[in-house]
Chain A
């Protein structure tokens, strides 16, 4: 019975996560269009919803091309790493009271570790492509993700201190009285910024800056290999949005509606915010990005951790 239950959970999470992120292609295009006073895809099916299907079909029928100069094994491996690392993080996501694929005691650390491993996908893709733009994109992505990873972890530590646990279920339970966004507002802002940088979304999409680097680390990819990077990015957006709502906005906590619905509502709110960021902000220069990360965000995260820690000790 237990085995059946966990299999259902695993495939349920996989099904919802993959379909949701595929749907995000449509959501993003429609929302971007809305904010740019256009319509976006609205021809294929009702409201253009079948655009997702059309895009997927197109991607499946494209030639699956591996450049002759590429390092074949690594070239094929990189997009898989991108998908797997993100999908692994979904396993610790608390969906409802007591329901998650793996109720790990170190859930937060597992999530951070998996997003660190995600760096490998871009490094390997950039390196294996044997293309200067890909390599530059890979380098940028590595530097960016590594440096934003640091204060991403530190900004979450305030939440961990308040909840007294690394377990995401326990963190959600600890927010019954008050969402952590109130006492940890600075931590929340830092986590959102780091999350955008971590998923390599505009305005932090320097690793695939199409105006400078063609498409960065996935310039040489086509067909479903590119599709995996593409869906991996949307999976990342969904994951970070879900994490923001779990860590700072009480996850599945909420009145009347069932817990899952609350998590989905909160997640979609932050996905919308991510897309709004893309619609409104231009890309910073690479040295600006790095100096913000190390000289502004990291000290702020450290100060936040120090103050939170002091207050927690003082009031115990």
Chain B
């Protein structure tokens, strides 16, 4: 019997405990920077596209919602001809981000992407591409990798030695 009274009293004390509800549209919840929300394609610090069209994200995607076609520009630099994410299928697992070798595809702390029409959930490259660098401000794939492209030969990347002369006998 006493426990019943104590229960009632303890519940009554919740009058002064405050509420845990977040009044969402007026009061935005805090989302950590690594929250897995809307997917974006980032650019490197020079403003070029980071995506090299390697298809690893499309392969890693467990629901197969990423579609792209790689092509090359006049400098021999690979980029996606089109890049399409069907957000009505996306499960926001973040595997694409993990698979990406160039930090191009990233998940952001934004989830407000409701639509009235289903086709509007299919995002094309111009919807995905942002103007900034996302989570990795100084990273540029083309500046670091050993691949030679127009304007940068082999061995001219950052922290890279000139290519070894294979016919040289001396070490």
Cα-based distance from A36 to B8 in the complex (angstroms)? 12
Say if the beta carbon of B69 comes within 8 Å of chain A.
Answer: no
Nearest neighbor of B22 in chain A, beta-carbon distance: A39
Contact call A38/B20, Cβ cutoff below 8 A: yes
Say if the beta carbon of A104 comes within 8 Å of chain B.
Answer: no
Contact call A276/B8, Cβ cutoff below 8 A: yes
Contact call B11/A35, Cβ cutoff below 8 A: yes
Contact call B8/A39, Cβ cutoff below 8 A: no
Contact call B19/A38, Cβ cutoff below 8 A: yes
Instruction: Determine which of A35, A38, A39, A277 lies in contact with B15 in the assembled complex, contact meaning CB atoms within 8 Å.
Output: A35
Q: Which size class do A's interface residues fall under? A: 10 to 19
0/1 per residue, A12-40, Cβ < 8 Å to B?
00000000000000000000011111110
Nearest neighbor of B4 in chain A, beta-carbon distance: A281
Interface of B, secondary structure class, is helix
Instruction: Determine which of A37, A38, A280 lies in contact with B8 in the assembled complex, contact meaning CB atoms within 8 Å.
Output: A280
Interface residues of B in 1-23 (CB under 8 A from A): 4, 7-8, 10-12, 14-15, 17-21, 23
CB neighbours (8 Å) of B8 from chain A are 276-277, 280-281
* With A37-B17, A37-B18: A280-B11 Cβ-Cβ less than 8 Å: yes
Say if the beta carbon of A50 comes within 8 Å of chain B.
Answer: no
0/1 per residue, A258-285, Cβ < 8 Å to B?
0000000000000000001101110000
CB neighbours (8 Å) of B14 from chain A are 34-37
Contact call B17/A280, Cβ cutoff below 8 A: no
Cα-based distance from A35 to B17 in the complex (angstroms)? 9
Cα-based distance from A38 to B23 in the complex (angstroms)? 10
Contact call B12/A281, Cβ cutoff below 8 A: no
A34, A38, A280, A281 pick with most chain B CB within 10 angstroms: A280
3 A-B pairs with least C-beta separation: A280-B11, A35-B14, A280-B8
Residues of B within 8 A of A (CB): 4, 7-8, 10-12, 14-15, 17-21, 23
30 contacts between A and B (CB under 8 A): A33-B19, A34-B14, A34-B15, A34-B19, A35-B11, A35-B12, A35-B14, A35-B15, A36-B14, A37-B14, A37-B17, A37-B18, A37-B20, A37-B21, A38-B19, A38-B20, A38-B21, A39-B19, A39-B23, A276-B8, A276-B11, A276-B12, A279-B11, A280-B7, A280-B8, A280-B10, A280-B12, A281-B4, A281-B7, A281-B8
Residues of A within 8 A of B (CB): 33-39, 276-277, 279-281
Q: A33-B19, A39-B23, A280-B11 are in contact. List 19 more A-B contacts (CB 8 A).
A: A34-B14, A34-B15, A35-B11, A35-B12, A35-B14, A36-B14, A37-B20, A37-B21, A38-B19, A38-B20, A38-B21, A39-B21, A276-B8, A276-B11, A277-B8, A280-B7, A280-B8, A281-B7, A281-B8
